[in-house]
Chains A and B, each alone.
Chain A
Amino acid sequence: MSRHLRVLRPGLLTTVQDLGRTDWRHLGVAHAGALDSDAARLGNRLVGNNDNAAVLEVTLHGPTLQLESPLRIALTGAAVTARFDGEPVPGGRPVLLPAGTLELGAVRGGARAWLAIAGGIEVPEVLGSRSTDLRGGFGGLDGRALRNGDRLPLGDAPPSDTARLQSVRWWIDPGHDEDPRAPIRYLPSTHAWSAPLARRTWKVSASSNRQGLRLQGDALPTPKADGISEPVAPGTIQLPPDGQPIILLADAQTVGGYPRLGHVIAADLPRLAQCIPGHTLHFAAVDAGAAHRLACAARARVARIGVMIDARVPAV
């Protein structure tokens, strides 16, 4: 019997995401994928999926979902208010739920959370990924965010049966070691005009989305000449003519014409996923060696948590 989730309320912006599309950049196809790939990976581990299974990315306020059969789920990312038929659902661990209603409310202490479900969200793969490309209008659920009445197909998972909510007494902290106020580390570009990004305080603008984090502050000086478009990537810090930087995120276009100030290092990209409008940001420049060391350390940390999960999950 095929399993489904029914969407009773869609939440503010809930999308199907896996680890993204990598092979089609030369045709202008965005990477897309979970804004915090570590949170998506670990959520999948908690429910026994492979790392690239599709999860739901929840933005600021979550959806309400009707479970038609018992399911194993896990919540990662920022803390999110979650209730199952009125009973609180703990995050950061596998939780077994019977048929019923899972209600996700406000995301706290960040902007986004991820809901992993055993078997994964089994929408068709488009260009090698199940991620929603909102601008391209494909992938995920018809290339759009969830709506009332949607039915999400679920992949096969080991049979689970329960009459009540069951969780475990251990949990992971998929959050990052960093103090949220610690500066975002970036590798400055080599242009002579590279602006004093790190010397100012920035606020995250309400017009930010999955394509980019728009910052507001004292305008930076912009170079006179208009450059020609060059490749960009998630993490690229662009400087439009108004002097207010934009940090590109997973849904970024593949090329851009604005001058580039540098890029946010891979280890700090997941932190950008949690910036709510009004959040204050500082930057600190690092060199390529430090960026590489920090990326390796972040990967090792996720791998360690993954091993810990794998050792315990069979016992659930």
Chain B
Amino acid sequence: MSRSFVCDIEALADDAWLLRFGDQLDPQLNARVHAIARRLGEHKPHWLRGLVPAFASLGVFFDPAADPARIHEELLALLAIDEASVADASAQASRTVEIPVVYGGEFGPDLETAATELQLSPQQLIARHSSGVYTVAMIGFAPGFPYLAGLDPALALPRLATPRARVAAGSVAIGGAQTGIYPRESPGGWRLLGRTPKVLFDPARATPSLLLPGDRVRFVAIEADRFADAGQ
């Protein structure tokens, strides 16, 4: 392991470095991850083969035929980034994507029980969940699955003791201190508040994922009869 002044660097694979900026869910650390990822993406060193931005760390994949020691050196140079440019990068990145959601009923089977647990009415839970501005802290678990940071801490909910075998595609859910959206039908243990008709991930689209790491997200409550139209 080596240290630059912003992160620890260790081998993730023979063809990847892991840059660790911290071990907390911290918006500032996450903004730094996205700023560094953007800087690497713009600089496009010839050896770069992919980036995986996570909550407080960044995977940097490189050409396996290249010399890892040289790449390490170049990385250190690229990591010399100051606070001001992190703030700039974060401001530039503030693309905001609105996600229409039908809350409750068959669309959000856990809304009622979640509200009861949080000592809120379902309407209050919807209002508080849809008033937040979230950040795509990381995409993972499945293609296009956004881990959204910025959940009101009062809305944190434990995951189900037994995960559901099938969660519908588009389900908007809370898991611990985060909220997220299931891109396709899959098993899942998060608490389902609602569902969006938007297609989160389609490998046939030029940009396959609706959301990108670092994006801002707002949920907009819609009525069930608008579900079909709002997906367009």
Instruction: Using CB atoms, name the residue of chain A closest to B41.
Output: A26
A295 and B66 alpha carbons, distance in the complex (Å)? 11
Interface 1/0 per residue, A108-147 and B, CB below 8 Å: 0000000000000000001100000101111100000000
A187-B184 Cα distance, complex, nearest whole Å? 35
| Contact status A27-B55, CB under 8 Å | no
The reply to whether B140 and A126 contact each other, CB–CB distance below 8 Å, is no
Within 8 A of A (CB), among B15-29: 15-16, 18, 20, 23-25
Chain B residues contacting A267 (CB-CB under 8 Å) are 14
5 closest cross-chain pairs (CB), A and B: A231-B59, A255-B140, A266-B14, A231-B52, A190-B1
Q: Is B192 an interface residue (CB 8 A)?
A: no
* A133–B144 CA distance with the chains assembled, in angstroms: 14
Q: Does A193 contact B (CB under 8 A)?
A: no
Verify A190–B50 contact, CB threshold 8 A.
no
Please give, as numbers and ranges, the residues of chain B lying within 8 Å of A28 by CB-CB distance: 139-145, 201, 209
Interface majority SS on A: helix, strand, loop or mixed?
A: loop
Within 8 Å by CB of A187, from B11, B25, B142, B143, lies B11
A96-B197 Cα distance, complex, nearest whole Å? 51
Alpha-carbon distance between A299 and B141 when the two chains are bound, in angstroms: 31
Q: How far is the CA of A136 from the CA of B184 in the complex (A)?
A: 8
Contact of B20 among A230, A233, A292 (CB under 8 A): A230
- Kindly identify which residue among A26, A139, A228, A263 contacts B53, using a CB–CB cutoff of 8 Å: A26
Tell me, yes or no, whether A265 is within 8 Å of chain B by CB: yes
**Once the chains are docked, how many angstroms separate the CA of A133 from the CA of B141?**
14
Task: Answer whether residue A312 sits at the interface, using C-beta atoms and an 8 A cutoff.
Answer: no
Closest B residue to A294 by beta carbon equals B14
Residues of chain A with a CB closer than 8 A to B128's CB: none
Contact, CB under 8 Å: A25 / B138: no
With both beta carbons as reference points, the residue of chain B lying nearest to A296 in the complex is identified as B65
Whether A292 pairs with B208 at a CB distance below 8 angstroms is: no
Q: Find residues 134-168 in chain A having any chain B CB closer than 8 Å to their own CB.
A: 135-139
Chain A interface (Cβ < 8 Å from any Cβ of B): 22-30, 126-127, 133, 135-139, 187, 189-190, 227-236, 253-255, 263, 265-267, 288, 291-292, 295, 299
CA distance A23 to B138 in the complex (A): 16
Within residues 196 to 221 of chain B, which ones have a CB less than 8 A from any CB in chain A?
A: 201, 203-204, 208-209, 212-213
Contact B10 A137 (CB under 8 A): no
How far is A267 from B143 in the complex, measured between Cα atoms in Å?
Answer: 28
Chain A hits for B51, CB < 8 A:
25-26
User: Which B residues are CB-close (under 8 A) to A135?
Assistant: 142
Per a CB cutoff under 8 Å, which of A22, A133, A187, A295 touches B61? A22
- A23 in contact with B50 given A28-B144, A263-B12, A263-B14 (CB within 8 Å): yes
Total number of residue pairs linking A and B with CB closer than 8 Å: 129
Chain B residues with a Cβ under 8 A of chain A: 1, 10-16, 18, 20, 23-25, 37, 49-59, 61, 64-65, 67-68, 138-145, 147, 184, 201, 203-204, 208-209, 212-213
Q: How far is the CA of A203 from the CA of B147 in the complex (A)?
A: 34
CA A157 to CA B84, docked complex, whole Å = 56
B10–A189 touching, CB < 8 Å: yes
Q: Judging by beta carbons under 8 Å apart, are A231 and B1 in contact?
A: no
Interchain CB contact under 8 A, A136 and B23: no
Q: Which residues of A contact B11 (CB under 8 A)?
A: 187, 263, 288, 291
Q: How far is the CA of A295 from the CA of B14 in the complex (A)?
A: 8
Quick check: B59 and A291 within 8 Å, CB to CB?
no
Given A22-B50, A26-B213: A229 and B55 interface contact (C-beta under 8 Å): yes
Residues of B contacting A263 in the complex (Cβ-Cβ under 8 angstroms): 11-14
Bound complex: CA A25 to CA B37 (Å): 13
Determine whether the beta carbon of A295 is less than 8 Å from that of B52: no
Q: Which residues in B have their C-beta under 8 angstroms from that of A266?
A: 13-15, 64
Other than A26-B37, A229-B140, give 16 A-B pairs with Cβ distance below 8 A: A22-B61, A25-B50, A25-B59, A28-B145, A29-B208, A138-B203, A187-B11, A227-B23, A228-B25, A228-B54, A229-B54, A232-B12, A232-B59, A263-B13, A267-B14, A291-B14
Across the interface, do A253 and B54 meet the contact criterion of CB distance under 8 Å?
A: no
- Given A26-B213, A27-B201, A235-B13, answer yes or no on A228-B18 (Cβ-Cβ < 8 Å): no
Evaluate contact between B10 and A27: CB separation under 8 angstroms.
no
List residues of chain B with CB within 8 A of the CB of A254.
52, 59, 139-140
